[in-house]
A and B are shown apart, each in its own frame.
Chain A
Amino acid sequence: MAIALTSTMLRGGAPAGSKARGGRWVIPVILMQALCTTAIIPISSLPGPELPALTPFFLSGILTTELATSFLLFAWFHDIRTWPLLLIASAYLFSALLLTDYLLTFPSAIVPGKAFVGGPQAAAWVFVIWTIGFAGLALAAAALQWRGATQALDPVRATAATGKAIGAAAAVALLTLLAAAFEDDLPTLMAGPFFTLLDQVLTAFGLMLLLFGTAIILLHLRGQNELFAWLAVVLVGMFCAGLLTALGGARYTIGWSAARLSWVVSGSVMFLFFVRQFVRRQHVLVDARQALEDAVAQRTADLTDAIRQRDLLLREVYHRVKNNLQVVDALIALEFPRFRDPAAREALTELRNRVFALGLVHQQFMSSEGLVTFPAAPFLRELCDHVSTSLDVAERGIRLDVDVAPIKVNLDFAIPVGLLTTTLLSNAARRAGTTAVRVSFQRGAPGEAILAVEDDGAAAAIGTSADDPAENPPDDPLGGSSGARIVQGLTRQLEGRIDVSQDDGVRVRLHLPLPDIAA
């Protein structure tokens, strides 16, 4: 269990401001305890209500808080590993175990009319040993803290010390219970309902230990260590309880009953210390979480802004590339009138269409949402429309159908596909006897798209090599020398394959693996 307490709180240091805080509240609280006790002292020996059932009630309350406090202290010791903290943790465990003994030995606490273990002296002996033992351990802890024994033990030694401390507390508690069970051999502490002189002496010894422990804390540790400041309140509470019990002189007197109340209060003090620390840490955590959320929100806003800036720049880049390609197209167009040779004019038209295809890709990216992909359908439709216009397809009575599936493409895929479409559509439109051309881009096998261009033109010889233009005849269905090179080269670049058939026209099908983003 991680106890969210700072090690400086026990190692002599203290959190900022704790000195003033400790100095402020400890003395008034102790004065109030003393005032209440002083007010009860004159009536402490008067008989009070005899309610044995109250004993298990208050004992179980103290027992629960002392056990919980002991657990929290041992858990804290696991992190801090100082001797004073081990002694305080042991004191609380010892207290919880001795309170169990007290519950078992107090008359009528469990069994009506008598003690569950031992006789009339048993509970008195348990009580005396509890008071002296707890006070002694607390005094030792305060003395060690005062003398500066606050160096952390090494973890192995700390674990061994924890085991020994728990074992010792359990052994003393067991021995006390055994001794109480055989009380006949023990000196008398109770004479009927009254306490004997020996009991008063032992109680006085316990009170003296409590007083010494309190004095060390108030004089030397109060302003330096918050834990010991709270322990001082506990010790004063026990002192007041012991004093009222002694002055009451017997069980069920006003003093004796008031002492029970004081024990309940003092038994809860250290537990309240941890509750307070928990609440304080909760506030720190809430503040830290809020700060973290604010930082995340700010970082998110910064990143969003950075992404927006990046998108803006990327759109600008796409825009400028498209514009520059339009400039290239315009330069080619300016040269166009100089050429009268049909082959040269055809080559220039083909070149302009390819430049247009590149520009169109960047235009698609410019208006795309994520700037990484765009849908192929509007791109290929516009491209086919442009190519067919440049080749007077409609004027020549050729019908053009374009059928494109909703497939997203990225830059590395769209550029070759645009060039392939331009080349194949130009080939089909120029082929002799063509009256209809169909361009389709559909999904094929999983992860594959098929770009198909079909026409009803005259059959042609098929070339086989992209490396040697001479092997591609001018009427090659893939195009003349440069057209075939481009189709075969770009298909190979996309790691695709070409399927050509010629039945009542020419059909070219390119099987192209889709990039991961589109697949």
Chain B
Amino acid sequence: MLRWASVASLSDLPLGTNRAFKLNGRSILVCNSITGVYAVENKCTHQLAALEGGKLRGHFLFCPKHGAQFDLRTGAPVGPLAKGVIQTFKTRVDKHGKIEIELPDAIGTDAASSVREDEPMSRERANKSIVARFLEEFSTGAVDTTMAMMTEDATWWVAGTMPISGTYDKPAFTRLLSGVLETCTGPIRITPKSYVAEGGHVAVEAESYTQTRSGRTYNNLYHFLFTIRDGKIAGVKEYLDTMHANTILCTP
């Protein structure tokens, strides 16, 4: 018999931080990292210090005392300092943003609530909302604020064999986007139709609309694949109707 204990709101645990919770005498550390929400025993196996306050790096946690490193997915120590594995607990975030921890029977707790079958959120949902905000910003036509949502080393790949196909780094894509927008009478509005997210990736079906200065209508269909890192867009792959794009955007 497993139970889910509700411990905190995601909003009370900012990204990149962790906090310990007492559950029936056991101290459990809940970590909100860029790669997900994790819960582990709040005790280092090196010299038994509390792990709370240790820095997070992806799915790794560093003990704040002597730097022992643990893989939060498995509890396994990394490197020679700590020998023992720390206990891990499954987590999920319900639709109200409440973090829940799956407790084995051995840990009873008054806080444990009944099992819920909610969608396990977290990283994927957060990534979808990052992409949604990005497409909204893109649709305003403001290049600077749009590009600010991308990492410095971000790349943007455009499918096909058009003159504008290929992989762009951030400065190059900024130039391309500015150039294309100059030929249009207004912003290119991109309307997302559906989202699928897994791990650090978000796939989006979308449709665009704008008018060019030469009086043509640009209305394309897309499948975008976004890569998200540190809350920013780190990579975009743009699959589109290249014949339409070439005719409207690349042909004088």
Whether A and B are associated in the same complex: the answer reads no
Binding site for B on A (CB under 8 A): none
